[in-house]
């Protein structure tokens, strides 16, 4: 049977793009079919009134091995947050009631300030150093082969106090996992912990969407078809939403779990629940705080869970003489935008005082399917489904950009090996 393309990749998120780039490097031009009006999947940036709004607050951990291998950091002009966080003191309405917890490995002069901060006990801080040593000893792949438990159980078993769990680990890693119960697998926690403490947390100068744009730029323009949802898959023939059929020697599904299951007729893996988040953006005439640290609120019943003045770190996110503030709220099933914004304004006035009345609301992104839940019971999914059928994406491994890139690369290697 003659086919139209050597490889068709369904979905141009980070996994699909990565796969296409590695195939291209090996001389195989794959066709990417993307349902949406741009590539990037969950990694996109909109420009609104001159502000760059990422679709949900999102950072690149520069220590990600797959990112180091694939991305050109210099061309992305990465802008780094300081490593650590400002943590809001509990039970206070006082403005400026912040404790800083700065990574002493990256800012050694902060070590004393961090050690005496009331975020946790002295023993907690020594345990953090011990945990860092332990997570660095293991080869990265082995981190995911340990018998996992939940992050919360892991922290308790490692002797951390409830105080540091509630004041630091829950707001910080709850913001990474997008779930506060810390039910996420301890293996993923150890991976993230190591990435945070050994590298930087950064955004590209022009927005997180610059990452998929960099990958798209390595492909020929005719390799990417936008607004092209795939409706059906029969053997190696795909039917698009407009009725067109295309065939390929190899078909790769770089879509979410539900779409992959629909196209293959397989069952959706049982762990496929999602965490959700809402990201609200505000414009301010001046930055409320120029410490370039994430601001965490341990009081999780609030509307403001995490806050970042993104333009302090990456000035290109805002027009001149303006600041861009991103506020993340986790766990809302549905969002009444007006009520949420009003609550955020009210809470932030207790944080920063009357200057908040000068802020302008820009837009909110409610993302009901932000991250595939990754619990101790989650099982990594096979990347090869049949002779010429493959799948990749964060949901097949663990929820991060690194996993999307890793599985995209691995599928490309399977095909290169077969064709080579
Ligand atoms: C708010 C938020 C914050 C995050 N924060 C971080 C972070 O700080 N650090 C980090 O590492 N990760 C973070 N992530 C996770 C990261 O963005 C994802 O792990 C990664 O982008 C997943 O890429 P993917 O290619 O696997 O899937 P997706 O990005 O979901 O791509 C799938 C693509 O398939 C397309 N598609 C689906 N069905 C079809 C069809 N039938 N036909 C054609 N196309 C189809 C979709 O339109 C989409 O473009 C965050 C995610 C969100 C949403």
Whether residues 258 and 322 share a domain: the answer is no
Whether residues 249 and 117 share a domain: the answer is no
- Residue 37 belongs to domain with CATH number: 3.50.50.60
Give CA separation, 64 vs 59, 67, 136, 328, 393, in Å.
Answer: 11, 5, 13, 23, 16
Instruction: Name the CA dihedral angle for 232, 237, 240, 246, rounded to a multiple of 10 degrees.
Output: 180
Whether residues 267 and 278 share a domain: the answer is no
DSSP states of 25-71: HTT--PEEE-SSSSS-TT--EEEETTEEEESS---EETT-HHHHHH-
Whether residues 82 and 195 share a domain: the answer is yes
Whether residues 194 and 330 share a domain: the answer is yes
Whether residues 186 and 216 share a domain: the answer is no
Whether residues 170 and 317 share a domain: the answer is yes
The pTM score is 0.95
- 46 CA distance to ligand 1 centroid (A)? 16
Whether residues 311 and 398 share a domain: the answer is no
Residues 78-107 have a mean pLDDT of 75
**Residue of 8, 9, 41, 46 to mutate, ligand 1, most atoms within 8 A of C-beta:** 41
Whether residues 235 and 282 share a domain: the answer is no
Task: Give the domain range for residue 88.
Answer: 48-205+274-372
Whether residues 116 and 60 share a domain: the answer is yes
Whether residues 217 and 326 share a domain: the answer is no
Report the distance separating Cα 339 and Cα 334, nearest Å.
12
| Digit-coded pLDDT (tens) for 144-197 | 999 999 999 999 999 999 988 988 889 889 989 999 999 999 999 999 999 988
Whether residues 59 and 152 share a domain: the answer is yes
| Digit-coded pLDDT (tens) for 191-214 | 999 998 888 999 999 999 999 999
> What pLDDT band is residue 92 in, cutting at 50, 70 and 90?
low
| Digit-coded pLDDT (tens) for 377-388 | 998 999 999 999
**Residue of 255, 367, 368, 396 to mutate, ligand 1, most atoms within 8 A of C-beta:** 255
Element (H, E) at 238: strand 237-240
For residue 352 the two structure tokens come to 């920063």
Q: Is 261 helix (H, G, I), strand (E, B) or coil?
A: helix
- Ligand 1 contact, 391 CB (< 6 A): no
Domain count across the chain: 2
């Amino acid at each position: 049977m003659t086919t139209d393309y050597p490889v068709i990749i369904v979905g141009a998120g980070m996994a699909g793009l990565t796969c296409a780039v590695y195939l291209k490097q090996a001389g195989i031009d794959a066709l990417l079919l993307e349902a949406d009006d741009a590539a990037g999947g969950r990694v996109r940036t909109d420009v609104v009134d001159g502000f760059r709004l990422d679709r949900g607050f999102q950072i690149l951990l520069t220590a990600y091995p797959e990112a180091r291998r694939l991305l050109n950091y210099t061309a992305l002009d990465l802008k780094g947050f300081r490593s650590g966080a400002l943590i809001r003191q509990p039970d206070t309405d006082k403005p400026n009631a912040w404790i800083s917890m700065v990574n002493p490995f990256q800012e050694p002069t902060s070590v004393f300030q961090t050690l005496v901060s009331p975020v946790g006990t002295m023993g907690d801080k020594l345990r953090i150093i011990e945990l860092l040593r332990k997570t660095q000893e293991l080869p990265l792949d082995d981190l995911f082969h340990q018998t996992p438990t939940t992050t919360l159980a892991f922290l308790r078993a490692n002797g951390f106090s409830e105080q540091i769990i509630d004041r630091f680990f829950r707001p910080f890693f709850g913001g990474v996992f997008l779930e506060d119960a810390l039910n996420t697998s301890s293996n993923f926690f150890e991976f993230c912990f190591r990435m945070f403490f050994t590298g930087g947390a950064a955004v590209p100068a022009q927005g997180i969407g610059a990452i998929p744009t960099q990958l798209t730029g390595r492909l020929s323009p005719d390799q990417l078809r936008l607004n092209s949802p795939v409706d059906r898959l029969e053997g190696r023939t795909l039917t698009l939403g407009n009725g067109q059929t295309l065939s390929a020697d190899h078909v790769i599904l770089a879509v979410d779990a539900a779409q992959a299951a629909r196209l293959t007729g397989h069952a959706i893996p049982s762990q496929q629940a999602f965490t959700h988040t809402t990201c609200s953006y505000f414009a301010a005439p001046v930055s409320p705080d120029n410490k370039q640290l994430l601001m965490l609120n341990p009081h999780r019943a609030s509307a403001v869970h995490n806050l970042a003045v993104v333009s302090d770190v990456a000035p290109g996110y805002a027009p001149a003489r303006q600041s861009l503030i991103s506020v993340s709220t986790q766990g809302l099933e549905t969002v009444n935008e007006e009520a949420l914004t009003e609550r955020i304004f009210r809470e932030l006035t207790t944080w920063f005082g009357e200057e908040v009345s000068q802020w302008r609301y820009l837009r909110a992104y409610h993302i009901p399917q932000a991250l595939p839940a990754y619990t101790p019971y989650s099982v990594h999914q096979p990347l090869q489904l049949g002779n010429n059928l493959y799948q990749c994406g964060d949901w097949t491994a663990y929820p991060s950009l690194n996993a999307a890139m890793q599985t995209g690369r691995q599928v490309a290697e399977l095909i290169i090996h077969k064709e080579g």
